[in-house]
Amino acid sequence: MPTWNSRGLRGSTLEELLNKTNAKYLENNLALIQKIPTPITPIKIDKQSRHITLAYFEQKSTVDYIGVVQGIPVCFDAKECHTNTFPLANIHEHQVKFMENFEKQDGIAFFLLYFTVIDKFYYLSLRELLKFWNRALNGGRKSFRCDELNEKYFLKKESGVFVPFLDGIQQDLEDRE
């Protein structure tokens, strides 16, 4: 069973930005998105600060966020990447299966990637991920580079929120038509 320690803070910058974005979207009645906590069992707790210092994961998590945008069910996972290449090992098969099943129920599933090296957010639709995923399963590269991504899904920071993923959802909906 995997354990958690200080590695559990990876991605906390992106999570904080998403939580602020979700609060803004809720305030403007645009979306209701909730962070899904990963169930853990604490092993060690610092008695002074009451912080968990070691724990193990009770089960595999599916996605980081789930909710509804203007009547459309959405789920997504958020990942930070510190290079121009994203390793597919950061995405797990059970997450992909959950997202595929979610979309079979007429929801929208995607990943929000934050490429810290270039300070850009990317909306990675499940459809686009599956192209890279299947390439890896068929013996191809087990990662993808920024220059392989569709330019129109890089999120622009001009919409007044930290991570304007509603723009990505809108583009995704238009491309599905």
Domain boundaries, the chain: 3-176
- Chunked mean pLDDT (size 10), the chain, 177 residues: 41 84 95 84 75 64 91 96 94 94 97 94 97 96 96 88 95 93
Instruction: State residue 40's pLDDT score.
Output: 63
Instruction: State residue 43's pLDDT score.
Output: 66
Instruction: State residue 56's pLDDT score.
Output: 59
Cα-based distances in Å from 51 to 1, 6, 37, 86, 151: 21, 11, 16, 31, 41
Which of the following CATH numbers is that of domain 3-176: 3.40.1350.10, 3.40.47.10, 3.40.50.970, 3.30.70.3450? 3.40.1350.10
Which token pair is 76? 């997504």
Residue 170 marked ligand-binding: no
Q: What is the pTM of this model?
A: 0.83
Residue 119 marked ligand-binding: no
Residue 172 marked ligand-binding: no
Residue 46 marked ligand-binding: no
